[in-house]
Amino acid sequence: MNKGILYGIGAYALWGFFPIYWKFLHDVPALQVIGHRIAWSFVLLAVYIFLTRQWKEFRSAAFQWKTIGIYSIAAVLLSLNWLIYVWGVNAGFIVETSLGYFINPLLSVLLGVIFLRERLRLMQWLPVGLATVGVIYLTLAYGRPPWIALSLAFTFGFYGLVKKLSPLGSLYGLTLETGIVFPLALIYLAFVGLNGSGAFLHDGIFIDILLAGAGFVTTIPLLMFASAAKQIPLTIVGLLQYIAPTLQFLIGVFLYKEAFDSSHLIGFAFVWVALILFAIENFVANRALVEPVPEMGED
């Protein structure tokens, strides 16, 4: 199997098992978890760039006011997305968080239409419509909008939109994003540590390892994904991305026994069918684009 595909599967599988990791930190406030995730991620990414002798290149590419401005917006969106996700997982809404990442690809398409003036092919409107019906149905089933899923989809969708307009690759981009919010995270963590409400160094060595390890579980799949994206077509990346929410959904239902009855199944089914149609349409359209034009004399 292509090494790039293996890296892609590995990255999305790790992201898919994230709920189990964050569940071990369910007694730690989500804001503290995110503070540590930001802080340790930046430290590890900065060390990696330094050890691989990319610091000079990173500094010249990142330290420009326009670039910093773009990535400041991205940093806020990513931090919000991480916060909502960790809170949702530890509050018992893993299934709903998975819905957010199922919806995200279709929402990203709509954002491209609205903000980048991209045009949808006729058959792309059908899955968008089906997903919308699914969300409306789940709103009625839950008795409220699935706001956790929608918040995750919108924050990550707009994050993807900003990233599409940004000049840096995924490694440099995440390093700059976490670097921008690193001072705020450090100040917050110092504050809760000094007033005695911080979990780090107070709740046992296991919690300390998990909080520090948040940097590793963030950076390792990122580096695997960056490697995969260079080696395999984006169409395959697009298909692999459904591994993560599928695993999260299965973990929520079967490992943590979250509620999932027939009414939820119907709503999710609309979204799943929409994604299947969306993937098939994309595959067919991209295959047509790369199909060689017959030469003179060929049938």
pLDDT above 80 (res 289): no
DSSP 8-state symbol, 279: H
pLDDT in tens, 85-94: 999 999 999 9
pLDDT confidence of residue 116: 80
Q: What is the mean pLDDT of residues 121-134?
A: 86
pLDDT above 70 (res 126): yes
Residue 274, classified by CB atoms within 10 Å of its CB into exposed (0-12), middle (13-18) or buried (19+), is buried
Cβ atoms < 10 Å from Cβ of 11: 25
pLDDT confidence of residue 80: 96
pLDDT above 70 (res 274): yes
Give residue 290's pLDDT band: very low, low, confident or very high (50, 70, 90). low
Maximum Cα interatomic distance, the chain, rounded to a whole number of Å: 81
DSSP 8-state symbol, 55: H
Q: What is the mean pLDDT of residues 124-151?
A: 90
pLDDT above 60 (res 294): no
